[in-house]
Amino acid sequence: MRALPRSTLVAIVLSLAAALLWAAYYPFVLGVHPSTAPSGLLAIPFLVGGAAFCLNALVRGEGASLRRMWTDPMAWGRVALLVTMQTSVLAATYLTGAVDTALLALLGDVVVTPLLLVVLFAEGSERVRTLRFLAGITLCTAGAGLTILVGGTAHPIGGWGVPIAIVVPGLIALYFLYMARACRTTPTSAVGGQATLAAGLVMVALSPFLPGGTAGLSPPTVAAALAAGAIGITAFYLGPALYFLAMQRAGIVLPAVLMATIPLFTLGFAWAFLGSFPPWLGLLGIPLAVVGAFVALQGEHDPWSPAATG
């Protein structure tokens, strides 16, 4: 097999680092609950991650781009997507467990993202039509479905869990597609800073209607506050920043497919910190999904765009 270009190898490392940071979100949230209410777990990480993005934009001299984002209607559309997506992800984490939610995210990244890229933006159709790619995403879907269905004995999916599980992959794919496209012409820190910080402010405004209410915005202990802030830095700032940086080097498909490693990382975190483990039959689905991702990522991965400046 031909050696991968340096830019692709760098993108793989960046993507795996992003996957590790995002994987920590699920067991972290379950670990700090119920000391920190859902309203706090939605608002605080957004505010911290958004502030980090904005600070980075200002340090890099991208303040003008950041200011433009606040008056851009499309930017507020991305905020609405982000709020809806993250609320659904948090709900799915509570209702289906860490590993199953990570697998739902996998379906969004590996299966739905490339398909929406073709349907919405007419890009990447050559790859999607190949037998290799179709076989890869079929394995991903089958593996994820096996673990979720078998794991249902430990985390029964019913009530609101069913529609939430259905919409999570699509919401994840839509949000990151529109974010990535915005980053083709606008610096990532400006795009991410406005979207993430604005989402945090929206969550604060919505907190009276969320579980935990406005009181949940104040974690009960210093340790709980630090944990919520750590989620903001890892999953809401560093994870997205590395992910979009990988896209600039290898296009959108390879980083998305490498998110197949999130369930593996999540499984390790959940076992180490929560003592949670799916049934042995369910474990078979995770390597199936990863093998499918490996099959799907084979081939060339051209840079999607140079890093935007200004």
Average pLDDT over residues 6-27: 86
Which region holds residue 129: left if phi is over 0, alpha if psi is between -120 and 50, else beta?
Answer: alpha
- pLDDT at 277 (0 to 100): 61
Split at pLDDT 50, 70, 90, the class of 207 is: very high
pLDDT tens-digit map of 117-146: 777 776 666 666 677 777 877 787 777 777
Nearest to residue 117, comparing CAs of 168, 173, 171?
173
- Between helices 98-106 and 131-151, what is the axis angle to 10°? 160
Average pLDDT for the chain: 80
Average pLDDT over residues 269-279: 69
- pLDDT at 100 (0 to 100): 74
Length of the chain as a residue count = 310
Split at pLDDT 50, 70, 90, the class of 205 is: very high
- pLDDT at 114 (0 to 100): 73
DSSP string over 75-136? HHHHHHHHHHHHHHHHHHHHHH-HHHHHHHHHIIIIIIHHHHHHHHH--SHHHHTSHHHHHH
- pLDDT at 217 (0 to 100): 93
Q: Quick check: helix, strand or coil at residue 304? A: coil
Average pLDDT over residues 65-82: 95
Residue span of the structural domain in which 10 resides? 6-297
Residue corresponding to tokens 């600070």: 55
Residue 250 lies in a domain: yes
Residue 142 lies in a domain: yes
Residue 136 lies in a domain: yes
Average pLDDT over residues 51-62: 96
Window from 121-125, 142-146, 240-244, 266-270 with minimum mean pLDDT? 121-125
Number of domains into which the chain is organized? 1
Residue 306 lies in a domain: no
pLDDT tens-digit map of 212-239: 999 999 988 888 888 899 999 999 999 9
Nearest to residue 147, comparing CAs of 260, 235, 253, 258?
260
Asked if residue 231 lies in contact with residue 93, where contact means CB atoms within 8 angstroms, the answer is no
Q: What percent of the chain has a predicted confidence (pLDDT) above 90?
A: 31
- What gap in Å lies between CA 239 and CA 56, rounded to an integer? 14
Residue 302 lies in a domain: no
Residue 245 has pLDDT above 80, yes or no: yes
pTM for the predicted model, two decimal places: 0.80
Residue 309 lies in a domain: no
- pLDDT at 306 (0 to 100): 44
- pLDDT at 281 (0 to 100): 60
Report the Cα 185 to chain-centroid distance in Å: 21
State the DSSP code for 310. Answer: -
- What gap in Å lies between CA 224 and CA 45, rounded to an integer? 12
Residue 145 lies in a domain: yes
Residue 203 lies in a domain: yes
Split at pLDDT 50, 70, 90, the class of 4 is: low
Window from 46-60, 62-76, 90-104 with minimum mean pLDDT? 90-104
- What gap in Å lies between CA 153 and CA 125, rounded to an integer? 38
Outline where the chain has alpha helix (H): 6-32, 38-59, 63-69, 73-96, 98-106, 113-121, 125-128, 131-151, 161-182, 188-206, 222-233, 239-250, 253-258, 262-269, 280-283, 285-297
- Which of the pair, 233 or 263, is modelled with greater confidence? 233
Separation in Å, CA 309 to CA 61, 166, 184, 187: 9, 37, 10, 6
Average pLDDT over residues 298-310: 50
- What gap in Å lies between CA 101 and CA 192, rounded to an integer? 23
Residue 147 has pLDDT above 60, yes or no: yes
